Every structure is written in structure tokens, then in C-alpha cells.
Amino acid sequence: MSAQVARQFVFADPSKCIGCGLCELACALEKEHSLDGTKARIRVVRLGPLANMAVTCRLCENAPCVRACPRDALWQDERGIVHVEDEKCDICGWCLEACPYGAIVVDAERATVLICDLCDGEPKCMEICPTEALIWTTEEEAAKMLPSSLSAIRSEAKQVIELGAWQLLFAKASEIAGKVEEKLKALARMAQERGLVMASPRAA
């Protein structure tokens, strides 16, 4: 009997995530035809003063959200993706309580919940991330990566605070700002293609 292939999901490396929220906008645009980041299937959370992380569904084995739903509005396919039957969902909140990662979003307007479906393997959130913080990974790999990423953040903060390496910080911030502006322009083009308008960033 062959070994089961570990499921891969979208994971954010906290040492690279800047909490800009462009992934949320790209997701809402792609999945909900909206520029309302609260309708995204990915959420940016702040882990601490210097650490951010975007959260999505981790495709849990025997997903607790599915088991918790009293109306059978959720079901999980063989790939691990959790599907939502909107007509059955009454946003009772049980799935939110059951999810250990806070990866389920309520869409109060449509009275349903939103869960990442990986966009058929081509997530727009990954495409639009200016720092390439979003990657494919497994639960095991994510568990190993998180401590080392947080350690890298602490090390960088120590360099700046204790050693006065402010120029390094400013140089990094300037480089990231350029990448964010570039991705904002790409996002504006995506919105325009869908008939939506967002304020275009000023030309450099």
C-alpha cells in the first residue's frame, strides 16, 4: 500500500509577510468579484509587534469544521478541500469555533462562510504577494518553519535595536515599498479587467 501524499496548502512565512493585505484583496477580487478584503478566504493576522501572518484553510484530515456543522453544509473532497453548500449554511458559527487556525470567514451579506479552495492550484494571493511570503507547504513543513521564521524576526529586531542597524532596515523598507507599488498596479489592472475600479497608485 502506497504512502498517503501529504496535503499542501497556502502558508505564509512570518519572516517575509509584511501584513500589507494585498493577498486579501486579490482573493476577494478573484473569488467574490469584490474589492472588499473582508470577503477574502485568506486573512492577515498580527502575531506580535513585528510579526504578521496570512491564514488559510490547512485541509485538515477529517476536518473538524465539517464534523462540527449541524446542518451538513460543509463537505470535504478527496483533496482535502472543504466545500460550502451556501443554501444549507445559516452562519451559526460552529465551524468557526471548530477550526484550530481561524481560517473560516463569515460572509454576513450572503449568510454563508468562505473557505479557501486553492483556486484550482493557481491562487491569486500567491501571485500578488509582494514579498513572496506565500508558499505551498504541508502541515509538517509548516510546523518546522514557523519557529525558525519567528527566530529570524527576533534576530533582525535585535540587530536594529541593539546594534543600531537602522540603515539596513530603511534599505529593506524602501525595496519592499517598490514591490508593493508594483503589485498594487497589477491588482488595479486585475480589477479593471473585471469591471471594477480601484485607486491607482501614484507613479514613482
Residue 94's contacts (CB-CB under 8 Å, 6 or more residues apart) are 68, 69, 70
In this prediction, residue 159 carries a pLDDT of 81
pLDDT tens-digit profile of 88-97?
999 999 999 9
Q: What's the pTM value of the predicted model, to 2 decimals?
A: 0.88
pLDDT tens-digit profile of 133-181?
999 999 999 999 999 999 998 888 888 887 777 887 788 889 999 999 9
The neighbour count for residue 84, using CB atoms within 10 Å, is 20
Percent of the chain as helix, strand, coil, to the nearest 5: 40, 15, 45
Q: Which residue has the cell 483556486?
A: 119
Q: Which residues of the chain register pLDDT less than 50?
A: 1-2, 203-204
Q: What structural domains and CATH numbers belong to the chain? A: 9-139+146-193 (3.30.70.20)
